[in-house]
Structure 1
Amino acid sequence: MKLSSKALVPVLVIAMMIGCSDDPSSSTEGDTNATASSTGGDLRFAIATDAVILDPHRFNDVATSLVLSNTYESLVMHDDDMEIVPRLAESFEQIDELTLEMVLRNDVTFHDGSSFDAYTVEANIERIQDPDIASPRAFMYDAISEVNVIEDDTIHIKTNEPYAPLLANLTSLSMISSDAIEKHENGELDLSVEIAGTGPFSLLNWEQGNEVRYEAYEEYWGSVANIDTLTFQVVPEEGTRLAMLENEEAHVVDNIEPTNMSRVEAMPNAEVSVSNGLRTEYIGFNVQKEPFNDPLVRKALAHAIDANTITEGIYEGYGVRATAPISEHVFGYSNQLTNYPYDVDLAKQLLEEAGFPDGFETTILTNDAHPMRIQIAEVIQSQLEDVGVRAQIHSMEWGAYLDATANGEQEIYMLGWTTSNADADFGLFPMYHSDSFGYTGNRSFYSNDEVDALLEEAKVEMDEEKRLELYEEAMEIIMIEAPKVFTVQEQLRIGVSDKVNHFSLQHPSGRLLFNEVTISSEATY
């Protein structure tokens, strides 16, 4: 059918964390054109990449976030306007500069039958802070010094100093049943492969590498799901995913490459839903490996890479040229930063100054989860060859790739980062602070004492204007030192069957919720 542009709404400031929003910002034509709908049925979502783990405290990737987004919930979330509003909390108030009070809902139960209360919140905060859990998000809660249960439905979260991003970061803290946490610790349950959340869907089974299957949770505190089951089917090959959509074997498919958008638009039974995202794609350098430990080499390669070719050629306009470490829709973004225009002659000059007049050999590491990255790697390979840098391309399976890049095995690598709490703290601290090497996010192993200090100061600065100044100063240093080349601020692209009603492509965090969805009675899935 046609392209749905209703989701192309720019997002302004405010904050949120990895995919914790329930706001519908665009609806597919299935909402208005469907002639009949019914409850029940199995909604099948063909996804490119499987979850890495089912433990919501131990992941930091988009694929896992998508798979868990309908089963775990947080204390607060973002509404349609990206304002932080209550979720499992009923209300919240900053009662002094160090104390956040939350009054909790009293009608929430977990999938294992246990109740949600203040002690649950205490157990979850303690768990994500536990070094033994090794959460890649633990740094977001380091400032929490005390968790005081006031009543069963009231809790005080205290920080050791003013902490500006606390509420935004709490949008990412999924609540696990405290009973399940205890059983996990005792070895009676494994939260890596089992789920005990509060969301509208509970886990039926996870067949790793193949599918994750959920059923509607009948005791859900909100709107009980209309569909009976929700299945995420792992289909790495995009052509197969699109064929499944066209042949009515799947209701929703993700990660549609721009070159295939017209194919979906031409389908009589489906359409594309597009939304601006909070994701910035980049080409990274491991600055602890020679010759990338030399800023001159990194700057030379930044000038040798024509990001406009990537944006206009490979993305075909479904994204904009990235000019900063974070998206323009994230609080803290600046358009006043140093950039590196495409300049082959200058690149060669800088390489000569660095001692590489004839270039050098290197490897570009990419992954099979995003075919466009392989295309981009080929473009970069060609562009680097123009300045004498001879690069081999090596593609890895997604999970192995995350391990390899976290362990520093790469020289040049390709990834992206979704600042899905829309706050620069989450966009910059895990990516550039020296405490964040590896799995937390800093896979370039970049370290700069001044950047560390600026990011730390911005955390405790409660004045928004001053925070903006601190982030701009930190980003300017990052841009000058060039641990990464930023390419595209990506848009979300999803194909949806017109048999699906009340589907919404959520705000730019990319979260998709399915409890309101129905499937037309004509569906043949």
Structure 2
Amino acid sequence: MTAALALGGCSAGGGGGSSAASGKPTKGGDLTMAWSADIISMDKTMTFDNNSIRVMEQIMEPLFQASADGTKLKPWLATGYTISSDKKTYTIKLRKGVTFSNGDPMTAKDVKFSIDEDTKTGAAGWGFINSAISSVEATDDSTVTIKLKYAWAPLIADLSLFSNGVIPDGYGGKTAAEFYKAPVGTGPYVWDSWKKGQSLKLTANSKYWQKGKPYLASVKWNVVPDANTRKLQVQGGQIDIDDTPDWSSLSSLKSAAGVKATTFPSTQIDYIAFNQKRKPFDDVHIRQAISLAIDRKAMLKAVLFGNGKVANSLLSPGTPFYDKDAGGATLDVKAAKAELAQSSKPNGFTTTLLIASGNPNQASVAQIMQSELKEIGITMNIKQLDPTANKQARLASDFDMAISAWTMDIPDPDEWTSFAVDPTGGSKSAFTSYDNPDVIAINKKAQQETDPAKRQELYSELQKQTSKDAFLAYLYYSPYVYATTDKVQGFHVTPLGNYLLQDVSKTK
């Protein structure tokens, strides 16, 4: 069975930036972005935070890439593929003439090494994504053959994930640790420098396979934890892009001279994570009580200023197989008190919510929750850590409750569901230690089911069961928001949260 994908152009972002005079992208210029937290690592197989991922995606490219609307897949370093009749063998053709930024040609051996490298991490990293793969073969220099243990619906989507990004065979003669200090890939930008806690810089790849790209000479990310400072910097032109301004400043940014504030459709879900390794969060009645006490509509108004929707499922509406009838908790104070009365702490208890300092959105959520939980007999303290330390604490499951969020990286629910509900994965069920064998079994069935209607049935069942277990308290689905100066052209964020900076330019 053939399943070749039509290319239809290589840009997964918006159209290239253009100059006012010629309508053509402006070549050169240095772009500066500011975000709240630093990266963690460039090891694509072991790193889970979005900031690190956004940088990786500019350096190490996958075989397939999501479309600008995040719903389809198109060839990237591959040109197409075929599937055997038993759906267990994929033959993938590679794009010819692609080189790494060091000038070495990319071949099937590099692809095999890159996929095998990710697979070997197993439960410690992103290896769960490739768990169905039996073998990867470099059939010839431009052909890769992947054999599966069983039919696996998400395979092509999985091959579009950053963790399967292509790097040189054998790390180009280096150790993994040496390589990831300054990774090499086929992407539009090349590693330059990293001042931990301060800034990271990439420079243009002069050997990039997309002719004429990238347009920018360099891209720099500055770590600026305070949202108001980032807002003032983009208004003053000290930075070109404010990554995730707070919602309270959106209207003023939209009216600011020389600034474009834009919301992009997303697959993001914001939630409260309960650490089940810490009592009393191993008690479903406790988790349900807290979930039922939250007024999500009030949060939409106070935090998102009306931008977004109440979350009612583990999956977001922009994710395939979302079920609007998933049964996520809604505000019901009487039911919340009844759940607490049945719990191991019927008279209430004291706990702590972890939030990021300098983040007014999380501060507002925390203050609303603090008041709401007090009403049912729970005293909630608020612990603030700077965004980088906060991220590290969540990754280490060092919290009682924590505000967190997820956005899809591929147009298939498996990435998130496997990350969220399977404790054998590197995230230990989104760092909650949630472990329901029935849910794990449903998820595994959904991975292997290729019939869309049957997959929908399975994912609906999974969504309903996770709502009952309340291992997360779903808050809201929010769009992405960015503010740029009007000199920035072609900046586009897909619903999967990624942006490809080869399409971005900056007018003089």
Give the TM-score normalised by structure 1: 0.89
1:490 and 2:490 matched:
no
CA spacing shift, 1:403–1:94, aligned 2, 3 Å: same
The DSSP-based 3-state class of the residue aligned with 2:262 is strand
Match of 1:452 among 422, 428, 440: 440
Kindly provide the amino acid, as one letter, of the partner of residue 494 in structure 2. Answer: H
Give the Cα separation in 2 of the matches to 1:518 and 1:220. Answer: 16
CA spacing shift, 1:272–1:135, aligned 2, 3 Å: farther
1:506 and 2:497 matched:
no
Match of 2:197 among 209, 213, 217: 209
1:154 and 2:154 matched:
no
What are the within-5 Å matches in structure 2 for residues 174-189 of structure 1?
174-180=165-171, 182-185=173-176, 189=178
1:77 and 2:65 matched:
yes
Give the Cα separation in 2 of the matches to 1:129 and 1:357. Answer: 45
Q: Deviations over 1:125-145 (max 9, x none)?
A: 1111224x9752110001111
Q: Deviations over 1:353-394 (max 9, x none)?
A: 225443111111223374422221121111101111001111
Q: Deviations over 1:377-426 (max 9, x none)?
A: 12111110111100111122344434433443322111111122131111
Match of 1:101 among 73, 79, 91: 91
Q: Deviations over 1:89-141 (max 9, x none)?
A: 1221213410111110121111222221100011111111224x975211000
1:67 and 2:68 matched:
no
CA spacing shift, 1:31–1:496, aligned 2, 3 Å: farther
1:413 and 2:402 matched:
yes
Conservation of the 8 A alpha-carbon contact between 1:58 and 1:134: no
Give the Cα separation in 1 of the matches to 2:184 and 2:166. Answer: 9
Bigger shift: residues 282-291 or 398-407 = 398-407
Q: Which residue number in structure 2 is paired with residue 313 of structure 1?
A: 302
Kindly provide the amino acid, as one letter, of the partner of residue 116 in structure 1. Answer: M
Unpaired segments ≥5 residues, structure 2: 1-9
Give the Cα separation in 1 of the matches to 2:431 and 2:411. Answer: 21
The DSSP-based 3-state class of the residue aligned with 2:221 is strand
Bigger shift: residues 340-349 or 396-405 = 396-405
The DSSP-based 3-state class of the residue aligned with 1:150 is strand
Give the Cα separation in 1 of the matches to 2:83 and 2:348. Answer: 56
Kindly provide the amino acid, as one letter, of the partner of residue 272 in structure 1. Answer: A
Conservation of the 8 A alpha-carbon contact between 1:137 and 1:440: no
How far apart are residue 67 of structure 1 and its match?
A: 2.0
Q: Which residue number in structure 1 is paired with residue 117 of structure 2?
A: 127
The DSSP-based 3-state class of the residue aligned with 2:273 is strand
Number of residue pairs matched?
Answer: 494
1:144 and 2:144 matched:
no
Give the Cα separation in 2 of the matches to 1:37 and 1:129. Answer: 39
Give the Cα separation in 1 of the matches to 2:234 and 2:56. Answer: 22
Q: Which residue number in structure 2 is paired with residue 253 of structure 1?
A: 242
CA spacing shift, 1:51–1:43, aligned 2, 3 Å: same
Give the Cα separation in 2 of the matches to 1:435 and 1:245. Answer: 42
Bigger shift: residues 73-82 or 452-461 = 73-82
Q: Which residue number in structure 2 is paired with residue 46 of structure 1?
A: 34
What is the percentage of aligned positions where both structures have the same residue?
24
What are the within-5 Å matches in structure 2 for residues 514-525 of structure 1?
514-521=501-508
The DSSP-based 3-state class of the residue aligned with 1:66 is helix
Match of 1:241 among 230, 233, 250: 230
CA spacing shift, 1:241–1:354, aligned 2, 3 Å: same
The DSSP-based 3-state class of the residue aligned with 2:185 is coil
1:423 and 2:415 matched:
no
Conservation of the 8 A alpha-carbon contact between 1:36 and 1:520: no
Aligned-residue CA RMSD (Å):
2.3
Match of 1:111 among 86, 101, 106: 101
How far apart are residue 240 of structure 1 and its match?
A: 1.6
The DSSP-based 3-state class of the residue aligned with 1:268 is coil
Give the Cα separation in 2 of the matches to 1:350 and 1:33. Answer: 65
Conservation of the 8 A alpha-carbon contact between 1:22 and 1:78: no
Unpaired segments ≥5 residues, structure 1: 1-20
Kindly provide the amino acid, as one letter, of the partner of residue 491 in structure 1. Answer: P
Conservation of the 8 A alpha-carbon contact between 2:119 and 2:131: yes
Kindly provide the amino acid, as one letter, of the partner of residue 184 in structure 1. Answer: T
Give the TM-score normalised by structure 2: 0.92
Q: Which residue number in structure 2 is paired with residue 9 of structure 1?
A: none
CA spacing shift, 1:34–1:343, aligned 2, 3 Å: farther
What are the within-5 Å matches in structure 2 for residues 328-339 of structure 1?
328-339=317-328
Match of 1:57 among 42, 45, 53: 45
How far apart are residue 23 of structure 1 and its match?
A: 2.5
Kindly provide the amino acid, as one letter, of the partner of residue 302 in structure 1. Answer: S
Conservation of the 8 A alpha-carbon contact between 1:365 and 1:394: yes
